Amino acid sequence: MKISAVLRSPYALILPAIALCLIFSVAPTAMSVRDSFRSVDYVSGADKFIGLANYRSIFTDDVFLRAFKNSVLFMFGVTAFSVPFGVAAALFLDKNGFIRNFTQSVIFTPHIVSFIAVATLWMFMMDPRYGILNYILGLLGLPPLRWLMDSSTSLLSLAIVAVWKTTGFNALIVIAALQKIPAELYESARLDRSTPARTFFHITLPTLSPILVFLVTASMISAFGTFDIVKFMTEGGPRNSSNLMVYWIYRTGFLHFQIGRAMAGAVILILFLAVVSAVNLALAGRRAHYQ
Amino acid sequence: MSGGLSRAALRAAGFAVLIMIFAGPMFFMLSASFMSRYEVNITPPALMPSEFHPENYAEAWERMNFVHYLRNSLLSTFITIAGQLLVCVPCAYAFAKKQFRFKKTLYCLVLFDLIVPAQAIFLQMYILESGLGWINTMRGLTAPFFYSAFTIFSLVQYFKTIPDEILDAARLDRCSDVQVIARIMAPMASPIIITAMIFTFVYKWNDYFWTSILTTDETVRTLPMAIQNLMPVDHAAREWHVIMAGNVMALAPMLAVYILANRAIKSGLIYGSGGRRAVSGKSV
Amino acid sequence: MRKSFVLLTAVIILALSFLAWRFSKSPDSAPVVDSSAETGRDGETVEVLFWNVFADDTSTGEFLARASEAFMKENPGVKITVNGQGGYDAIAERLEAAAAAGNLPTMAVIEETFLGRFHPIVAELSRYLPDAVIENYQPGLLASGYIGDGLYAVPFNRSMPVLFYNKTKFEAAGINSPPATWDEFRETAEAMSDRENGVRGAALCWDTDAWIFESVLYSWGGDILDETNKKVVFNDGGKAAETVRFFQEMEENGTLFSPYNHQEDPWITVATEVLQGRACMMLGSNGMYSLYSQWMADAGYELGIAMQPSFGDTPSVATGAGNIVVFGGAREEQKAAAGKFLEFLARDEYAGEYAALTGYLPVTKTAANSEKLRAWLSEKPEYQAVIEQMMYAHRRPFTKNWKNMYGVIVEELEACLSDKRADAAEAMESAAAACQKIMDENPD
């Protein structure tokens, strides 16, 4: 009786998820936080508490500061393009019809391609000597760029790849949201002789705003956490011009094995993302009242 | 009249630009995969292969050891999907439809992964899995991902919209929770479950990060690692034609799933709460 | 029903005890070698896992496969598995990861300087190697294997930077001897350059671990660290900046090809330029001699090899490349088997064959004098210069931080030779400061 009561209880249903979460997310995170205050070296066997020394070290490290700055820039840059582009494409492609459905599918395709394939493809296209992008620039009468090889364009090049990969996903989410807007709203707007601009700002945008907040938050978090294309396309170079936080953590922790410093960076990353999410949620709460 | 015409022309131009930007590079990938070694490295670049070299695929197939990695990709993806169905669906049902103590706290705990990015904890994951002896094993590559904050979150959002009356009726019939999930929740929520599983599929199929951390040899490595193996080490030249052929081969199964499930994805997105981009988190 | 309840409880208990274990576990104890897969009982096979730098399909990979095969025939009780890891950096990173996870191989090839990093976990070798074998190694190559009186690493694929040049083109231009000093290097590069046809006199890659830079710096009279191994001195008096500036100027004049404007691997780019006759000489590792000779022959040129240029009469070069270590945490019989395999590789037939096969330095005295190698050398009289160069080997940086330091240095060096040239003085100064910070924060 007691046994079946436990089994019937909701706790039995959530137990596997909770257990996995504790083991594979909470515990590693806790260990990361712990290590950020310690000097850990698996080769020499050292493991001692050193207070805030790791944090002091990374905040006086030009490479870390550069990576942090790059990540913030990258986060805003990618979001500023991938979300508006996604919305614009969605408005353009809303409604059914063969060509629209086809185009919707096409712009979503980059999302399902692995980052490795995307990275190799764009490296091929961005090759300074043989790449097609420089050829296109030439056709437009523009001087060739050195894309990933140049410290002034490397971050931009990665951002182009990220925007290309994520815009279609954003568009699809917005299209889904648009199709949930009741047709009567538009009908009544039409009867009121509302202009398309008025309709957009008074009906479409407010209805979309929760999904937009979601998209902006998700886009910012994922852009800030970009890793694969950095590792594969530039390794953060030249001269750390395209180094992002996560790659910095990876390199410091997994290639240089300065575990304490890497974990200090990870803690900063988690805190920063928590702040970004909180700010977005707060803004979302505000927006919700307008409706 | 002419206004209508120019508008149609503009619209056509719009489609053309969108398709060019998003399909252009993919087309280029396909085209380069049939070029000769010489043709991928010329200026001005060739858009189309002057003659077809399907043997690039044979070479990529052989050098990638394609079958081995395809098998691993399929296994790890489907095990993860099955695991998520078993772990996340009951959990989401409990949070959506049951009342119990500490529900809010536990829900916050379950959503933990939404903020903590995978890359912040990979080192500890590696050490943890080493301790378990899970490095280079299929369970090491799949079991931690049976739990997904994103999947649970989207399912909860949708489950909440299913009216309680239906469940009450089932309870009167003395259905157990498992039966309620299997007979009522799962069928009613199938669009969102399918969508969530497709996102898991995309995420797991393409995952490079965790595979590179949690494996040190080729035993259970998946297709993205096989493409990486086509990139040279030891100072050899990059053979783009073969790499692109490998890309096309790794993409094909994914594309097939996408074309088959296109409609389901969209309906899932429309009914569901929306998705999260599946690129950075441990969980989709 | 009852069963699943037990199962659920078990999961909870497991999860909690697992957490407890994780939180209490500290890496205080020395990392252990993974012996789980290798638990051979008495009289059964001893398994030895050997991590090699080069991939299995390279000449080194194939050589080791052959050698281990022959060794196992002689020693039926031992099974050697050779795994190529794809580069000195890669092998170092994987060893770090393996140390953290407690699954180190039995033995591995490391870049000689990495003994500074891994010495806490490697075994002292004089217990596993007969004195006669140790004494037979070339003393110049064995030096980097010692810490105090203890021997912790023995040479395997060892090399030095050398000058490779296109003999065919040099002769056609009437230049009969390769440059011996840096001034001659610059003049020769000028003479060999044909700007209209895009031919440059020289090409330069710093190497992924700044090895070429390091060696050139020594020939300039500079050093990386001071005698105490604590102070970074490579840019004292602007020495490093001066070195870099020399090549920067050549690049600006169009007499030096820089690979850092290209997306491909710098080594392959530089080698391709030289091989195809678009550049006429380069610095490289003598270990590539056989491979490059083959490539050049395929392209219709003859490859020349000479000592790295120097200032004045006293050359000074870096030694480098692979030493073999055995990990201390391995079981005693594994270490003994590893020692036997080292002894086997040091036999004249293998050490000599390997040198002749690749162009790496012969690691033992008797192999260098063996008939086989003498025959090989008589066909390649120029290679003698490489062997002589061993006398001028310079001390290398010995610190656990070297990998992190050269990462910073290479980044700056590459910038100095790329399209938007960095200011050499500024770049080297900031590299030196960053390296000093790394050393101060992580004292050896």
Are C83 and C99 found together in one domain? Answer: yes
**pLDDT above 50: residue B283:** no
Q: What is the pLDDT of residue A186?
A: 80
Q: Do B135 and C101 touch (CB under 8 A)?
A: yes
Q: Which pLDDT tens digits describe chain C residue by residue (444 residues)?
A: 344 444 444 555 555 555 544 444 444 444 445 444 444 445 679 999 999 998 887 889 999 999 999 999 999 999 999 988 878 998 999 999 899 888 899 999 999 999 999 999 999 999 999 999 999 999 889 989 999 899 999 999 999 999 999 999 999 999 989 999 999 999 999 999 998 988 999 999 999 999 999 999 999 999 999 988 899 999 999 999 999 999 999 999 999 999 998 888 899 899 989 988 999 999 999 989 988 999 899 889 999 999 999 987 788 999 988 999 999 999 999 999 999 999 999 999 999 999 999 989 999 999 988 888 888 888 888 888 888 888 898 989 989 999 999 999 999 999 999 888 899 999 999 999 999 999 999 888
Count: domains in chain C: 2
Quick check: is C8 in a domain?
Answer: no
A255 Cβ under 8 Å from any chain B Cβ: no
Tokens of A51: 């207070």
Shortest distance, CA C117 to any CA of chain A (angstroms): 8
Shortest distance, CA A246 to any CA of chain C (angstroms): 18
Q: Tell me the C-alpha to C-alpha distance, in Å, between residue A26 and each of A38, B113, B115, B265.
A: 19, 9, 12, 31
Instruction: Estimate the crossing angle of helix A98-112 against helix B190-206, to 10 degrees.
Output: 50
Residue A11: closest CA among chain C residues belongs to which residue? Answer: C8
Taking the mean position of all CA atoms in its chain, how far away is CA C410?
15
Residue C104: closest CA among chain A residues belongs to which residue? Answer: A43
Are C235 and C309 found together in one domain? Answer: yes
Quick check: is C27 in a domain?
Answer: no
B16 Cβ under 8 Å from any chain A Cβ: no
Predicted TM-score (pTM) of the model is 0.88
CATH of the domain at C288: 3.40.190.10
Shortest distance, CA A24 to any CA of chain B (angstroms): 6
Alpha helices, DSSP H only, in C346-423?
Answer: 348-358, 365-368, 371-379, 384-389, 402-416
Are C143 and C249 found together in one domain? Answer: no
Are C312 and C327 found together in one domain? Answer: no
- For each of the domains in chain A, give its residue range(s) and CATH number, in order of start: 53-117+146-290 (1.10.3720.10)
Q: Do B206 and A110 touch (CB under 8 A)?
A: no
Q: What is the pLDDT of residue B192?
A: 85
B261 Cβ under 8 Å from any chain A Cβ: no
CATH of B59-271, one of 3.10.180.10, 1.10.3720.10, 2.40.50.100, 3.40.50.10860: 1.10.3720.10
Q: Do A255 and C89 touch (CB under 8 A)?
A: yes
Chains that touch B (3 or more CB pairs under 8 A): A, C
Task: Count Cβ atoms below 10 Å from residue B102 Cβ, excluding itself.
Answer: 10
First to last CA, chain A: 51
Dist. CA C434–CA A56, nearest whole Å: 15
Are C296 and C359 found together in one domain? Answer: no
Residues of chain B contacting A103 with CB distance shorter than 8 Å: 15, 18-19
- Write out the E strands in C112-210: 146-147, 150-151, 154-159, 161-166, 202-203
**pLDDT above 80: residue A288:** no
Q: What is the pLDDT of residue C25?
A: 44
Residue A233: closest CA among chain C residues belongs to which residue? Answer: C263
pLDDT band at A4 (very low <50, low <70, confident <90, very high): low
Residues of chain A contacting B244 with CB distance shorter than 8 Å: 120-121, 124
Are C247 and C332 found together in one domain? Answer: no
Instruction: Enter the ipTM.
Output: 0.86
Are C284 and C423 found together in one domain? Answer: yes
Q: Do A6 and C261 touch (CB under 8 A)?
A: no
Dist. CA B138–CA B3, nearest whole Å: 61
Q: What is the pLDDT of residue B234?
A: 56
Chains that touch C (3 or more CB pairs under 8 A): A, B
**pLDDT above 70: residue A2:** no
Residue B56 is which amino acid? N
Quick check: is C4 in a domain?
Answer: no
Q: What is the pLDDT of residue A39?
A: 92
Domain boundary among C365, C387, C409: C387
Quick check: is C411 in a domain?
Answer: yes
Place of tokens 């294997």: C145
pLDDT band at B270 (very low <50, low <70, confident <90, very high): low
CB A150 within 8 A of CB B262: no
Q: What is the pLDDT of residue A5?
A: 64
Quick check: is C231 in a domain?
Answer: yes
Dist. CA A105–CA B264, nearest whole Å: 13
C420 Cβ under 8 Å from any chain B Cβ: no
Dist. CA A108–CA A161, nearest whole Å: 14
Shortest distance, CA B75 to any CA of chain A (angstroms): 17
Q: Do C264 and B237 touch (CB under 8 A)?
A: yes
Residues of chain C contacting A151 with CB distance shorter than 8 Å: 415, 420
Residues with Cβ within 8 Å of residue C211, at least 6 apart in sequence: C161, C285, C318, C320
Residues of chain A contacting C121 with CB distance shorter than 8 Å: 43
CB B251 within 8 A of CB B69: no
Dist. CA A138–CA A150, nearest whole Å: 18
**pLDDT above 60: residue B284:** no
Q: What is the pLDDT of residue B216?
A: 82
Window A:81-110, CB contacts with C under 8 Å:
none
Query: Could you tell me which residues are beta bridge partners of residue C164?
Result: C282, C305
Are C290 and C168 found together in one domain? Answer: yes
Are C274 and C246 found together in one domain? Answer: yes
Residue C90: closest CA among chain B residues belongs to which residue? Answer: B233
A275 Cβ under 8 Å from any chain C Cβ: no
Residues of chain A contacting C442 with CB distance shorter than 8 Å: 258
What's the alpha-carbon Rg for chain A, to the nearest Å?
24
Alpha helices, DSSP H only, in chain B?
Answer: 2-32, 55-64, 66-97, 103-110, 118-132, 138-142, 149-159, 164-172, 177-180, 186-188, 190-206, 209-214, 223-230, 240-271
Dist. CA A264–CA B120, nearest whole Å: 10
The minimal CB distance from B274 to the residues A17, A120, A214 is found for A214
Are C122 and C205 found together in one domain? Answer: no
Q: Domain of C313? A: 161-318+399-441
Shortest distance, CA C134 to any CA of chain B (angstroms): 31
C97 Cβ under 8 Å from any chain A Cβ: yes
Residues of chain B contacting A9 with CB distance shorter than 8 Å: 100
For residue C111, what is the enclosing H or E element?
A: strand C107-111
Q: What is the pLDDT of residue C17?
A: 53
Residue C194 is which amino acid? D
Tokens of C6: 């037990």
Are C313 and C165 found together in one domain? Answer: yes
Quick check: is C370 in a domain?
Answer: yes
Are C184 and C244 found together in one domain? Answer: yes
Taking the mean position of all CA atoms in its chain, how far away is CA B144?
16
